[in-house]
Structures are given as C-alpha cells and as structure tokens.
Amino acid sequence: MIGIIGGTGTGSLLETYPITRTELLKTKYGDAPTISILEIDNKEVAYIPRHSEGHSVPPHKINYRANIEALNIIGVNQVYATNSVGSLDTNIQPGDILIPDNFIDFTHNRASTFFDDKVVHIDCTNPYCKDLRNILIYSGDVHPYGVYIATEGPRFETGAEIQFYKMIGGKVVGMTGVPEVVLAKEKQMCYSSICAVTNYAASISPTKLTITEVVDAMKACEEKLINLITNCVKNTDSKRDCTCHHILDEAEI
C-alpha cells in the first residue's frame, strides 16, 4: 500500500478523496493518530496526520516510531511524506517544492531507531528512495535535489545557525524530516520527502520570520502540493519491488 504522511497543509486530501475506512492502531511504541484509507486513482492510500488530529503535537514531541509502525502494520511499504521547510537559497522561493536527496541531522532528543535491543546498522548513504524521488520529479514542477537540514525545534533557528547550515551545503531546513526517514528505512519502506517551502529561513530574508507567515504560505502552496501528491500516486505502481524493501536482508534480525 502507498502511504502519505501529512504535515501542515495536506488536510484537504481528506476532503478531496473518499475515505473508505479508518484505522486506529495501538503499537508497542504508543498510540498512532487515526489513519484514513483514501481512494485515489482506484488505489488504496493510507493517510496519517504526522502532528495528530488538529495539528496538536509539536515537532519535537511527535511519536515518529508509533506513526511508522502503524503504517507498517497495515501494509504500507511506499511513503510520500510532506514537510514544511524554510529556504536557505534565494533561488528556492516560498511556494516552491523541493525533493531532497540527502539530509544532515541536528536533532538531539528523539527516539531515532527501532533497534534499541540489538546492534543493527543500516546504510543511509542515500536515505531517500531513488525511485520515489524520480516519480515526484516527473510528476510536478519541483526542485529535484537539495540537502535537508533537520533541527530539533520547536523554536526557529538563529541567524548564525542558518548561515552555518548554508555553509555546509543545506538548501532547506525543517523540524520533522528526521528521524522519520530513518525509521521508515529500518522498516524497509520506500520513503521520499516533499518539502513545501513556506518561508526564507532566518537571516536569508531581511524581515522577521513569524508563524503566521509560515501558515499563510503553506495555505498558498496547498493546491500545488495536493496536485503533486495526486499525480505521484497515479504514477506509482502499488506492487513495485525495490532495494529499499530488502535493506535488512543481510542483517541478523
């Protein structure tokens, strides 16, 4: 099954497509938000709101393990995840969409693995599924690559931090992309991120960043985001196999 992890600005998917059923799952890591099974292009697509119902859970408190485990339990093996981000490059403007090809992790207080009781090392050279990235790039007007900088939040970054992230190669910065991508990889899911640019990061723009600016920009980007998700679901073979599905084959699990 195809899964969508929805961040800010994707709730209208639930109004756009019929909900055939819902799933409310308790996992060993805690309760997951209600998963809605949508019908898109005659395919079952599982939608889970990352921040729970009503966008009530802040980025640093999201139970990423419960969310990924719940999707895994119902049979999701391909995930498109939306993330609102700030731009570190004036050529990547608010309203644009970027498909990251790598990340640098500056989070520091999150449960980031399913393997707490055994030694398992997964390869993260290319953390995002190449095939899903290509589908996204083919399906809409997007920036096809860029490094995602993951920060802890919930505060916005300082100007000095942003200048450092820019210096080390970052293109966008956000608070929700990690450890989600790593956890999906540990569950042998294909995973790709859709970064919706809502603002220029601190010190990139001369104006002060506010949460109102982020929310307003996300609303403006919503139609483009929904269209991209619709197109990529249409272009995704639900039964495709991938090397992502076999990443643990050589590990002693």
> Domains of the chain by range and CATH?
2-238 (3.40.50.1580)
pTM above 0.85, yes or no: yes
Residue 211 is predicted with a pLDDT of: 66
The sign of the torsion formed by the CA atoms of 212, 200, 149, 101 equals: positive
Residue 55 is predicted with a pLDDT of: 80
Q: Which two tokens stand for residue 237?
A: 């073979």
pLDDT tens digits along 27-44? 999 999 999 999 999 999
Residue 113 is predicted with a pLDDT of: 97
**Phi then psi dihedrals of residue 147, to 5 deg:** -85, 130
**In 95-210, which residue ranges form alpha helices assigned H by DSSP?**
130-139, 159-167, 180-186
| Residues forming beta bridges with residue 103, ordered by sequence position | 148
Mean pLDDT to the nearest integer, 135-156 = 96
User: Is residue 182 a contact partner of residue 113, using CB atoms and an 8 Å limit?
Assistant: yes
Mean pLDDT to the nearest integer, 45-62 = 92
Which helix (H) or strand (E) covers residue 64, if one does?
Answer: helix 64-73
User: Is residue 247 a contact partner of residue 181, using CB atoms and an 8 Å limit?
Assistant: no
Mean pLDDT to the nearest integer, 62-68 = 98
In this structure, the number of other CB atoms found within 10 A of the CB of residue 233 comes to 21
pLDDT tens digits along 70-93? 999 999 999 999 999 999 999 999
b or e along 48-81 (b: 16 or more beta carbons within 10 Å of the residue's beta carbon)? bbbbbeeeeeebbebbbbbbbbbbbebebbbbbb
User: Which of the residue ranges 49-58, 75-84, 112-121, 175-184 would you say has the lowest mean pLDDT?
Assistant: 49-58
Residue 208 is predicted with a pLDDT of: 67
